[in-house]
């Protein structure tokens, strides 16, 4: 029996799990917050972070002999964190992290500079958003031209951490998953687009070598194998064990739907972001701007203290919410592409004007919006036989009551766990097995699946489809032709 470690460097903390290489059983865990101050002393996340903070929390999380006996480490880290280095390997400025609102104008500039959304979708499988590294490069060139000129090497968070763990070698590496989110690497062609780096930054820069899912990035001076590493989304998918036929619906303030697919999907509308996964497959993603924020808004409107109370109230209503339909486009919407619209409440009748029906309509509207996103993928040939429902709201009884019949397939609600860190450990076990000749580079280790609650649509399927038809009718009447598959 061997042991491996997976570390997940999220926007706020580092979490480490130590796992059995054969079964994936978690043997030990470590945790430490990043020593990062919120901007202006507030509660928000900073857009600029010294990467040394990630190393400090990594060291603290690994304290107390946590990594004793570990043979290999995998690294998962927050996506879209751009670390610009100079020719000597020093950081030019703090890392640009998160969905940096400062870069929104830069995103629009880049879209225009290449000739529109369709040109970007064809080039790299996604349309620039404020969070992406390519957009942050444009912001850097426009706002901090001296720093842009000094930038000679571009890394993301997991690339930088792997490089540091290996003792800052000459060769710098990344993986397909991390590279696919940059906006200057194409999942379809498997290659960089240096011309897009130059378009954004104003000059060329060195980019890390993209190595295979089962490859090792190298070995530390102490003999510890370091795997390729990947982004948090890809690592969590790998930790969950999703494969062909599986989709993940994530309920955050905004929502996302992603599925495993054999090929990259170029989407001219820009609704699909074509990412690569951590196994050699592809992860097309469709995002909605309004998921749990629609529930929170409804709870506030009804004077309820929390989402659990909203769920309890919704369970007193019935499917279809007595004809009440909420189009939850409270922040505008991305799927369908209605950036300047507002939400709509339709079907108001005397008998439907009760708090429990509005509460139910909020859950149905949120999940119908995500079912629309799922249909974007299905319309492009992505097979979906099972859906993993993630996020704290996935635990709510109302979400679990509504989701299977609306999605029309089995819904799996995994128990909360550190899936990104587990995925990183699984990648480490894979690279270790390949290096020892005990695993095939095309087949990852078969670890136990996530403990989960399984929900079937059953007899409610026809009812769920009727609810969706009601939602679709209101959407089409309110926004004719906005949703084109």
In sequence order, the 6+-apart residues with CB closer than 8 A to the CB of 473 are none
pLDDT at 100: 75
3-class DSSP assignment, residue 220? coil
pLDDT at 47: 85
Give percent above pLDDT 90 in the chain. 90
Classify the C-alpha dihedral 79-84-88-93 as positive or negative: negative
pLDDT at 98: 83
Neighbours of 401 (CB within 10 A): 17
**Strand 185-186 and strand 191-192: pairing?**
antiparallel
Alpha-helix runs per DSSP H in 315-460:
355-378, 397-407, 419-436
In the β-sheet with 95-96, what is the strand arrangement from edge to edge? 48-49, 95-96, 82-85, 153-156
Q: What is the pLDDT of residues 347-399, one digit of tens each?
A: 999 999 999 999 999 999 999 999 999 999 999 999 999 999 999 899 999 99
Q: Is residue 197 over pLDDT 70?
A: yes
Q: What is the pLDDT of residues 290-336, one digit of tens each?
A: 999 999 999 999 999 999 999 999 999 999 999 999 999 999 998 99
Angle made by CA atoms 261, 265, 269, in degrees to the nearest 5: 140
Identify how many contiguous H helices and E strands the chain contains and give both numbers: 15, 24
Q: Is residue 484 over pLDDT 90?
A: no
In sequence order, the 6+-apart residues with CB closer than 8 A to the CB of 149 are 202, 203
For residue 196, give the DSSP letter. Answer: H
Q: How remote is the C-alpha of 290 from its chain's centroid? A: 15
| Half-sphere exposure of residue 242: CA atoms within 13 angstroms, side-chain side | 35
pLDDT at 9: 97
Its pTM stands at 0.93
Neighbours of 378 (CB within 10 A): 16
DSSP lists the bridge partners of residue 210 as: 174
Per-residue pLDDT averaged across 420-440, rounded? 97
Q: Is residue 449 over pLDDT 90?
A: no
Q: Is residue 39 over pLDDT 80?
A: no
pLDDT at 44: 62
Reported confidence tier of residue 40, pLDDT bands at 50, 70, 90? low
Q: What is the pLDDT of residues 132-186, one digit of tens each?
A: 999 999 999 999 999 999 999 999 999 999 999 999 999 999 999 999 999 999 9
pLDDT at 38: 62
Q: For residue 376, what are its two tokens? A: 């974007």
What is the rounded CA–CA span in Å between residue 18 and residue 426? Answer: 10
Reported confidence tier of residue 268, pLDDT bands at 50, 70, 90? confident
129 close to 109: Cβ distance less than 8 angstroms:
no
Per-residue pLDDT averaged across 117-146, rounded? 94
274 close to 268: Cβ distance less than 8 angstroms:
no
3-class DSSP assignment, residue 28? strand
Q: For residue 174, what are its two tokens? A: 């990344």
| Half-sphere exposure of residue 144: CA atoms within 13 angstroms, side-chain side | 15
For residue 352, give the DSSP letter. Answer: G
What is the rounded CA–CA span in Å between residue 238 and residue 231? Answer: 11
Q: Is residue 422 over pLDDT 80?
A: yes
Q: Is residue 1 over pLDDT 70?
A: no
Place of tokens 């909020």: 362
H or E segment at 327? strand 325-327
What is the rounded CA–CA span in Å between residue 403 and residue 456? Answer: 9
11 close to 45: Cβ distance less than 8 angstroms:
yes
Looking at every residue in the chain, the average pLDDT score rounds to 95
Backbone dihedral angles phi then psi of residue 308, each to the nearest 5 degrees? -65, -40
């Amino acid at each position: 029996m061997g042991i491996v470690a997976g570390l997940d460097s999220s926007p706020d903390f580092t979490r480490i799990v130590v796992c059995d290489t054969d079964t994936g059983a978690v043997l030990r865990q470590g945790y430490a917050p990043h020593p990062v101050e919120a901007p202006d002393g507030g509660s928000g996340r900073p857009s600029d972070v010294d990467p040394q903070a990630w190393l400090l929390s990594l060291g603290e999380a690994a304290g107390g002999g946590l990594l004793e006996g570990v043979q290999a480490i995998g690294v998962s880290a927050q996506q879209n964190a751009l670390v610009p280095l100079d020719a000597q390997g020093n950081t030019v400025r703090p890392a640009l992290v998160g969905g940096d609102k400062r870069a929104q104008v830069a995103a629009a500039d880049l879209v225009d500079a290449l000739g529109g959304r369709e040109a970007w979708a064809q080039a790299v499988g996604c349309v620039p958003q404020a969070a992406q590294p390519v957009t942050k490069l444009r912001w850097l060139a426009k706002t901090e031209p001296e720093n842009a000129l000094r930038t000679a090497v571009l890394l993301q968070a997991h690339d930088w951490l792997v490089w540091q763990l290996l003792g800052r070698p000459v060769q710098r590496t990344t993986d397909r998953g991390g590279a696919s989110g940059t906006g200057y690497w194409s999942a379809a062609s498997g290659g960089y687009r240096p011309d897009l780096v130059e378009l954004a930054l104003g000059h060329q820069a060195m980019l890390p070598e993209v190595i295979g899912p089962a490859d090792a990035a190298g070995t530390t001076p102490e003999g510890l194998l370091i795997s390729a590493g990947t982004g948090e989304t890809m690592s969590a998918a790998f930790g969950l064990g999703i494969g062909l036929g599986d989709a993940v619906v994530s309920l955050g303030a905004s929502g996302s739907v992603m599925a495993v697919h054999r090929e990259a999907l170029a989407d001219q509308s820009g609704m699909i972001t074509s990412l690569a996964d951590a196994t050699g497959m592809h992860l097309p993603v469709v995002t909605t701007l309004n998921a749990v924020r629609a529930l929170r808004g409804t709870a506030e409107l009804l004077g309820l203290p929390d989402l659990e109370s909203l769920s309890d109230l919704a369970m007193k209503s019935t499917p279809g919410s007595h004809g009440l339909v909420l189009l939850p486009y409270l922040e505008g919407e991305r799927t369908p592409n209605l950036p300047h619209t507002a939400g709509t409440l339709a079907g108001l009748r005397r008998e439907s004007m009760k708090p429990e029906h509005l509460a139910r309509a909020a859950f149905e509207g949120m999940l119908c919006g995500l079912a629309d996103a799922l249909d974007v993928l299905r319309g492009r040939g992505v097979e979906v036989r099972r859906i993993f429902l993630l996020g704290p709201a996935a635990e709510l009884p109302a979400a679990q009551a509504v989701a299977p019949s609306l999605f029309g397939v089995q819904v799996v609600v995994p128990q909360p766990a550190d899936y990104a860190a587990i995925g990183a450990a699984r990648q480490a076990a894979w690279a270790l097995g390949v290096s020892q000749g005990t695993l095939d580079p095309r087949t990852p280790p078969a670890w136990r699946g996530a403990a989960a609650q399984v929900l079937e649509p059953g007899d409610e399927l026809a009812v769920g489809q009727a609810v969706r038809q009601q939602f679709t009718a209101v959407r089409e009447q309110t926004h004719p032709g906005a949703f084109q598959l």
